[in-house]
Structures are given as structure tokens and as C-alpha cells.
């Protein structure tokens, strides 16, 4: 599990509220370096963008582990919000988002890992990232 990234602006990486853990949007960082930049369908392939989404998912899990001490406390992946920096005619955002969705199912199994999701094309993301994903997890009550 990678070291969770520190926020780059005025926000916190996660918030616990009741039995919910909200994790701020994670970029495709690997070893602290942005691994995928540019627009999907223009300078980034669908395959690379899917790997970027998977990396965002890994970083979401790293934040959740930092917040909870253990991923064993996750009861359900409730929702992922995937933002894909897209060329104006790119429409395969759901395929890209599967990189993170498939990871959640692999990590937690069908019952816990399957989730609601949004997959949205956007004009640009922070630091020219190709993908950004946030998450909501149901967790053990404190």
C-alpha cells in the first residue's frame, strides 16, 4: 500500500461522519509522481486511462487505511465518483472508471466491493491529471 498523498490545497484527505468515510479525490500518483497526464481520447489511451483509474483506486484504499488503521473496518464500498479528463468527442468514461471499480471488487469481493458510481467527462483536472476518483465507504461504527 503506498503512502497516502497529502492534500495539495485547503481540504482534508478524508472525513469520517457516523459510519461513513468520505475520501477526497485521488489522482493517479505513483511514488508521489503523477503517472498519467493529459486528455483521454487525445493524448491518453483508454488502456492507460483505465490503469490511471486503478492507480486512483489504490490511492483511495491507502487513504482509507490511513483513516481506519485497517481496511478490515470497511463494510461496503458505497460509491465512487470518477472524473475523466476527456477529449471533446470521448464517451468511454465508464470503461475508464472500471479500472477503479474492478479493483474494489478484487479487494473486497462482490458483496462489499460492488458500488454505485458516477463516471463523468471533464475538460481539465488538477495538475493535468488524466483521472481523479473520490469514494464513500461504509465503515464499522466507532
In this structure, what CATH number is given to the domain that contains residue 79? 3.30.1330.40
pLDDT in tens, 41-90: 999 999 999 999 999 999 999 999 999 999 999 999 999 999 999 999 99
Q: Is residue 22 assigned to a domain?
A: no
C-alpha to C-alpha distance for 109 and 102, rounded to whole angstroms: 10
Asked whether residue 17 is domain-assigned, the answer is no
Rounded CA-CA distance 2/54 in Å is 13
Q: Is residue 72 part of a domain?
A: yes
| Residues facing 86 on adjacent strands | 40
Total domains, the chain? 1
Identify the domain containing residue 67 by its residue range: 27-139
User: What pLDDT is attached to residue 37?
Assistant: 98
Whether the full predicted model's pTM is greater than 0.75, yes or no, is yes
d(CA 58, CA 2): 8
* Bigger pLDDT: 56 vs 8: 56
Amino acid at each position: 500500500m503506498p503512502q497516502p498523498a497529502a492534500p495539495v490545497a485547503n481540504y482534508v484527505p478524508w472525513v469520517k461522519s457516523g459510519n461513513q468515510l468520505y475520501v477526497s479525490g485521488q489522482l493517479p500518483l505513483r511514488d508521489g509522481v503523477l503517472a498519467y497526464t493529459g486528455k483521454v481520447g487525445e493524448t491518453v489511451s483508454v488502456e492507460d486511462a483505465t490503469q490511471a483509474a486503478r492507480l486512483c483506486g489504490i490511492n483511495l484504499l491507502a487513504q482509507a487505511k490511513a483513516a481506519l488503521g485497517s481496511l478490515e473496518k470497511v463494510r461496503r464500498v458505497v460509491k465512487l465518483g470518477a472524473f475523466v479528463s476527456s477529449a471533446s468527442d470521448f464517451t468511454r468514461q465508464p470503461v475508464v472508471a472500471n479500472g477503479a471499480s474492478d479493483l474494489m471488487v478484487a479487494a473486497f469481493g462482490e458483496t462489499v466491493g460492488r458500488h454505485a458510481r458516477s463516471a463523468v467527462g471533464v475538460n481539465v483536472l488538477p495538475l493535468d491529471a488524466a483521472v481523479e476518483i473520490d469514494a464513500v465507504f461504509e465503515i464499522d461504527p466507532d
